[in-house]
Each structure stands twice: as C-alpha cells, then as structure tokens.
C-alpha cells in the first residue's frame, strides 16, 4: 500500500456549478467553500500531512473584477472566522503564491500564517496568486542572484514549495484535463486523477475512492 503524505487539488468547477444551480458563478464559489471544509476534515482523518489547494492562479486576474473581488472577500471572511479553529485543530496554513493583494488581505494572510506556524497535524498550502512558470523563473533568478550552484537541491530551495515534499497525487475536479500552470515542477512524479464532478459536488466518498485507488497502484519512479 502506498503511503499518502501530500495531496494537491485543483478545485475546479465552482463557476459552472453556480450557474447551473443558482444562476450565479459567485454562488458556486461560496458553495465550493463547503467542500473545502469537508476535504480538510477527511484529509486529517486519513492522517495525510500536506494538502495543497489551488485557490487562485496568476491567470485568474483575467476574470471580471466583480468575480475576483467576491473571491477575495470570501477568503477574508473564511480566514477571519476559521483561523482560530484551524489553529486549535493543530493545522498550519501556508500561502504559496505571490502576496500582492490589498494591504488588509496581505496582513490577514501573514497573521494567519504566523498564528499557525508551529502546528503539526496538517499543513494546508493555499495556492493564491500562484503560477508555476513564474515560480520557476523567479527561483532561477534568485538562485543566480545569490551565486548558488545550479542543481536540483538548490532549485528546490528557491521554489515557493521549499521544505514541502512533492505531492504524491494531484486531483482535478470539474471534468477538465489540464494542469493550468499548477506545480509543473513538483508534479513530475505525482499520480494524476481527473474527476468529472464539479468541486461543490465533490464529497468525502469521492475523495476516499481516489485515495484508495492511489494506495493500490504501483509507483515505479523509473524502476521496474
Ligand atoms: C475554480 O472554479 C475556482 C477558481 C478558479 C477560483 P472556476 O471558477 O474555474 O469554475 P468553472 O471552471 O468556471 O466552472
Ligand atoms: C485553475 O482553474 C485554477 C484554480 C482552480 C484556482 P481555472 O478554471 O482557472 O483553469 P482554466 O483557466 O480553465 O485552465
Ligand atoms: Mg475553471
């Protein structure tokens, strides 16, 4: 049985769910947050140590302002109301992405990270304003600036996922088969699961089904 240490998820399909059920994309984002809570609980139950959630990509800035503002308002309300609870549950929150938001949100994100820094049960990496290509270019830039030797070990040091093991598996909901600029480097050997359900419809049972499938496969890493 394969151990699962790190699950990464592209939480896709909120907009379509919202349009279908409530005639509003934003309603889908709100509903999607309920799935986030369910999946966090289930991740802990499964004793998984790292959960990386793709919440906002560097490309998502191309969306209408109204949707972007709604998403960040939702995040703000979520963090304000839940961070103490996450902290009590021994969960660490880490933002991976380029923190270029409003002053208020930047502060809230930093505070949330600081508050939960020492927690050990589960580390949630929230990918926010995250883009893998930019991350890799940025890593090279800093590596060269510091005159470090170019090698794999040093490269890992400059990525936003420094000190985080690579994901064992990636799940993408929403019936779309692409990576959308997510963890291109780190997913080199991850198992990939594309799920037809939209993110708000995804539930514990679906999640466990995928986890169980993963446990049974043979991972080669180039060997036989
Ligand atoms: C993913 O859902 C959430 C974010 C990108 C913030 P989408 O908003 O992309 O939902 P669809 O793919 O349009 O249905
Ligand atoms: C990927 O979903 C980003 C997040 C889930 C945050 P998108 O819906 O933005 O991806 P594309 O644009 O359809 O590839
Ligand atoms: Mg989408």
- Summarize pLDDT for 16-47 with one digit per residue, the tens: 999 999 999 999 999 999 999 999 999 999 99
* Secondary structure of residue 164 in the 3-state scheme: coil
Among all ligands shown, which has an atom nearest to the Cα of 129? 2
Q: Ligand 1 centroid vs 65 CA: distance in angstroms? A: 14
Q: Which two tokens stand for residue 221?
A: 């890493």
Does 180 sit in the ligand 1 pocket, CB within 6 Å?
no
Does 167 sit in the ligand 1 pocket, CB within 6 Å?
no
> 110 pLDDT band (50/70/90 cuts)?
very high
The Cα–Cα gap between 81 and 208 comes to 27
What burial class does residue 19 get, using C-beta atoms within 10 Å of its C-beta: 0-12 exposed, 13-18 middle, 19+ buried?
Answer: middle
Packed helices 25-45 and 14-22: angle between N→C axes, nearest 10 degrees: 120
The Cα–Cα gap between 146 and 176 comes to 39
Mean pLDDT value across the chain: 97
% of the chain with per-residue pLDDT over 90 = 99
CB-based neighbours (< 5 A) of ligand 3, an ion: 12
The Cα–Cα gap between 45 and 150 comes to 40
The mean pLDDT of 198-215, rounded to a whole number, is 98
Which of 2, 5, 60, 138 is an active site residue? Answer: 60
142 in active site: no
Packed helices 103-116 and 65-88: angle between N→C axes, nearest 10 degrees: 20
- Which whole-number Å values give the CA distances from 15 to 18, 161, 175, in the listed order? 5, 28, 13
Does 60 sit in the ligand 1 pocket, CB within 6 Å?
yes
What burial class does residue 57 get, using C-beta atoms within 10 Å of its C-beta: 0-12 exposed, 13-18 middle, 19+ buried?
Answer: buried
Q: Say how many C-beta atoms besides its own lie within 10 A of residue 215's C-beta.
A: 12
The mean pLDDT of 54-82, rounded to a whole number, is 98
Q: Ligand 2 centroid vs 150 CA: distance in angstroms? A: 31
> 199 pLDDT band (50/70/90 cuts)?
very high
Instruction: Sheet with 91-96: list strands edge to edge.
Output: 91-96, 122-130, 50-57, 6-10, 169-172, 191-194
Helix%, strand%, coil% for the chain, nearest 5: 50, 15, 35
The mean pLDDT of 157-163, rounded to a whole number, is 97
- Which whole-number Å values give the CA distances from 19 to 24, 29, 89, 154, 164, in the listed order? 5, 10, 34, 45, 36
Output the pLDDT for position 19. Answer: 98
Q: Ligand 1 centroid vs 12 CA: distance in angstroms? A: 5
85 in active site: no
Q: Which of 14, 18, 71, 177 to probe ligand 1 with, by most ligand atoms within 8 A of CB? A: 14
Domains of the chain (ranges, CATH numbers): 6-131+168-216 (3.40.1180.10)
Angle, alpha carbons 107-111-116 (nearest 5°): 155
């Amino acid at each position: 049985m394969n151990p699962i240490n790190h699950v990464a998820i592209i939480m896709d399909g909120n907009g379509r769910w919202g349009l279908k059920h409530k005639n509003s994309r934003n309603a889908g984002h709100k509903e999607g947050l309920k799935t986030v809570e369910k999946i966090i609980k289930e991740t802990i139950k499964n004793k998984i140590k790292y959960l990386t959630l793709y919440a906002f990509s560097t490309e998502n800035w191309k969306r209408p302002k109204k949707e972007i503002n709604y998403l960040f308002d939702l995040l703000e309300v979520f963090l304000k109301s839940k961070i103490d609870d996450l902290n009590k549950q021994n969960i660490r929150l880490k933002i991976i992405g380029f923190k270029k938001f409003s002053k208020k949100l930047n502060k809230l994100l930093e505070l949330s990270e600081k508050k939960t820094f020492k927690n050990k049960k589960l580390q949630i990496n929230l990918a926010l304003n995250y883009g893998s290509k930019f991350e890799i270019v940025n890593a090279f830039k800093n590596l060269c600036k510091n005159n470090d030797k170019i090698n794999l070990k040093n490269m890992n040091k400059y990525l936003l996922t420094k000190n985080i093991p690579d994901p064992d598996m990636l799940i993408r909901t929403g019936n779309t088969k692409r990576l959308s600029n997510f963890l291109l480097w780190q997913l080199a050997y991850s198992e990939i699961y594309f799920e037809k359900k939209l993110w708000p419809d995804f539930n514990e049972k679906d999640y466990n089904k995928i986890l169980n499938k993963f446990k049974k496969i043979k991972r080669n890493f180039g060997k036989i």
